[in-house]
Amino acid sequence: MAAMTVEILKEAMSRRPFEPFRVRMSSGDVFEIRHPEAALLIRGGLYIGLPSDKDLPERAVYCALLHIAAVETLATA
């Protein structure tokens, strides 16, 4: 398995038009990023705002770069 890099995540987040994608963790957890403002990329990983029933996320999860196993584009309808 190739190591995840900041460049891979940066490319996924900067596509225009934005293409929603999922982050698959080594633990098996999966997080979907459906809007570019729902994630914050930092040198060591990614903060992802978790959806809520309100307009803004109420909490976020930190995904360490070391534990991101895959980044997959979501199929668009």
Domain boundaries, the chain: 6-73
- Considering the chain, what is the average pLDDT of its residues? 91
Q: What per-residue confidence (pLDDT) applies to 21?
A: 97
- Name the pLDDT band for 38 (thresholds 50, 70, 90): very high
Query: Are 27 and 21 contacting, i.e. CB atoms less than 8 angstroms apart?
Result: no
**Average pLDDT of span 33-40:** 93
- Beta partners for 60? 49
Q: What per-residue confidence (pLDDT) applies to 76?
A: 66
Give the predicted TM-score (pTM) of the model: 0.86
What ranges make up the beta strands (E) of the chain? 21-25, 30-33, 39-42, 45-50, 59-64, 68-73
Phi/psi of residue 49, each to 5°? -70, 125
Q: What is the CATH number of domain 6-73?
A: 2.30.30
d(CA 47, CA 50): 9
